[in-house]
Amino acid sequence: MTTLKLRLFGAAATLALLSACSGSSDPERTTAPATPVEQTATPSTEKTAALPGKLGLLTQALAKVSLRVEQKAEIDKMVSEAAVRHQAVAKARAALKNAVATQLESGSFNRAGLSTEVAALEAAVTQTAPADRAALVRLHGILDSAQRNQLVDAFQELRRSAKAEGGFGKRGGHGKFFKAREWARDLSLTDEQVGTIRGAMRDKFQADHAGKGRDGWRRGGHKKLIEAFRSDNFTLDENAFPAVRHAKGASRMLDVLEVAVPTLTPEQQKRAAEKLRATEF
């Protein structure tokens, strides 16, 4: 329930749920680098800016791995291809964000009226997921054992830093909780509004998930996958980075909006729309 509570203070803040996962491809192994090339910078900002969430962190982690010239050339090409793939996802996320903002500005939130944008986002993610999985397996094949360990260590360190700085955090003065407080402050939500939203969401999610356990992917699945990348044998199937999880993410966002928007005053809805349009995600 902790994650749910963190989403309750502002309807628009939940759009942060619409981030994509990292990717994958077919294995092909290389030997240890004879003449490693130390990378000191991430791939170009233009490339990484289009990559969401953990996929963006992965490209940053690659900058800390000692690569041979031919490895770096191939990996840079893969990063560029991933950036192109995810342009459609970014465009679909932005379209959904703007559609929600438009509804908030009009003072009439209508979930059914967002079906076109939601379907477009689901389709974009569905199209990128197989190539993302293939690219990750391909990356595993390009790197040797020492390089894979370097990559995993760097990725985990970056992820810890992201949590501390609010990128993926859950508690304390940072992360989603901090963002939720920020939205509550900026929208001037009253204690009564916060309590109403929290209670309604708790009831809704308890009803929706009655008798359903949390799947292994959500309970440490990412961590297990990252650690598995260190091993010599690494495979992914269609259950890794499932597009259906992103569809659920959009659905949960709309669940929160359905509960939260009726509690907002017209002025608060307009403020939420303005803040939402200015928010990068």
What pLDDT digit, counting tens, does each position of 121-171 carry?
A: 889 988 888 898 899 999 999 999 999 999 999 999 988 887 665 443 333
Report residue 3's pLDDT band, with 50, 70 and 90 as the boundaries.
very low
Predicted TM-score (pTM) of the model is 0.69
Report residue 55's pLDDT band, with 50, 70 and 90 as the boundaries.
confident
pLDDT in tens, 76-86: 999 999 999 88
Lowest model confidence (mean pLDDT) among 15-24, 25-34, 257-266: 15-24
Candidates 101, 100, 91; CA nearest to 125 is: 91
Q: What is the mean pLDDT of residues 7-34?
A: 35
179 and 171 Cβ atoms separated by less than 8 Å: no
Burial of 55 (0-12, 13-18, 19+ CB in 10 A): buried
Mean pLDDT of the chain: 74
Burial of 208 (0-12, 13-18, 19+ CB in 10 A): exposed
CA-angle at 177, arms to 173 and 183, nearest 5°: 105
pLDDT in tens, 233-258: 998 877 776 666 656 667 777 888 88
Report the alpha-carbon distance of residue 100 to residue 249 in Å, rounded: 15
